[in-house]
Amino acid sequence: MSTPPLTQLSEDESLFRTTVLAFARERIGPRVHSMDQAAAIDKALIPELFQLGIMGIEIPEAYGGAGADMFSAILAIEAIAQVDPSISVLMDVQNTLVVNAVLNFGTEEIRQKYLPKLASSWIGSYALSEAGSGSDAFALRATAERREGGWSLTGRKLWITNAGESNLFIVFANVDLSKGYRGITAFLVERDAAGFSIGKKEDKLGIRASSTCELVFEDCFVPDSQVLGDVGKGYKIAIETLNEGRIGIGAQMLGLAQGAFDYSMKYMLEREQFGQKLASFQGMQFQYARVAMEIEAARLMVYNAARLKDAKKPFVKEAAMAKLFASEVAERTASLAIEFLGGVGFTKEYPAEKFFRDSKIGKIYEGTSNMQLQTIAKMLQTEYGG
């Protein structure tokens, strides 16, 4: 079957996206404000996300998942983000980072052990960042020392998404610091592992319902069977999964922009000043027409990157471009949405200010904007024979 071009969705894709968006509006929408204020997800939502089937979209049916593709995951991430980017990133990390890493690099034993759980009830986290290793991800100092039958992990991880709810953590540690990035290895650590604890929860500007916490490892034993991929090849897992994950962040920012735009357009079509609708003023028309154009351009880029990945074609440059551009569009759109709403847009009673706060993280996590530009530039040099 031929692949639909870019934003054109097949009948099944359209139905899937519509179903997820309806769920988000009905089940997540009424909780958005309270979750943001409490800086915590309503735990009653988590089973519903699994029941909807959006926590294991790419997990094969043999392991209890939906057996769909990355494009389907992107559609779900986008739809959820239109209502609440906090819940969107919960499922984004689950699908584009954790599930993909286990599926692509896990042994059959690991797949059988964890994929059914990740499809039905377990949430996962991706633990790479540390205090001294953000954009310079491979400067991590967490270590793994050899023990009989396994490894002992020591160190701290920071800014770990989903940490408050996760049952499984993909943890990157170095088995030999003298080897630099070639000592980095990925380990699967369960929440109740001895020597492992959840540390400080960050008090964030945006996506507040999404937990972001410190992880602490104090002589935490991990058996050999819990090593993900080959010892010393964790850098490969990190690179490949983050390349895919950036498409997910692009989808999250795309959904955020669309959500902010939808709300502000409805407001401008209802609000009257000087005897006419706000949307009728030419000065407003020029602004929201440009916003709509940029959102559509972001959608083209995000969808294209996802379709390239599913088609097993090169997508790294396109993923970086999609993530970078979508995050910029999200921030501009959310900022203008506040201005479109005027004074009420500056209050917490309306969703515009939350979309604006949530948008800022898009330029930071899973690779800052500067890192995306660097990736794009390197790819272009290669393409042009540099």
Catalytic residue list: 366
Task: Write the Ramachandran bin of 252: left for phi over 0, alpha for psi from -120 to 50, otherwise beta.
Answer: alpha
Whether 215 and 127 have beta carbons less than 8 Å apart is answered as yes
How far is residue 160 from each of residues 33, 128, 243, 247, 362, measured CA to CA in Å? 23, 8, 18, 19, 15
Q: Which residues of 95-106 are buried (b: 16+ CB within 10 A; e: fewer)?
A: bbbbbbbbbebb
Gyration radius (Cα) of the chain, Å: 21
C-alpha 207/C-alpha 44 separation (Å) is: 18
Tokens 């499809």 sit at which residue? 119
Sign of CA dihedral 338, 342, 345, 346: positive
Sign of CA dihedral 275, 278, 279, 284: positive
Structural element, H or E, at residue 219: strand 212-223
C-alpha 237/C-alpha 187 separation (Å) is: 11
Nearest CA to 201 out of 376, 372, 375, 41 is that of 41
Whether 142 and 193 have beta carbons less than 8 Å apart is answered as no
Cβ count near 267 (within 10 Å): 19
Whether 185 and 251 have beta carbons less than 8 Å apart is answered as no
Alpha helices in the chain (DSSP H): 11-23, 32-38, 45-52, 70-81, 85-92, 100-105, 108-120, 234-270, 282-310, 316-341, 352-359, 369-383
171 three-state secondary structure: strand
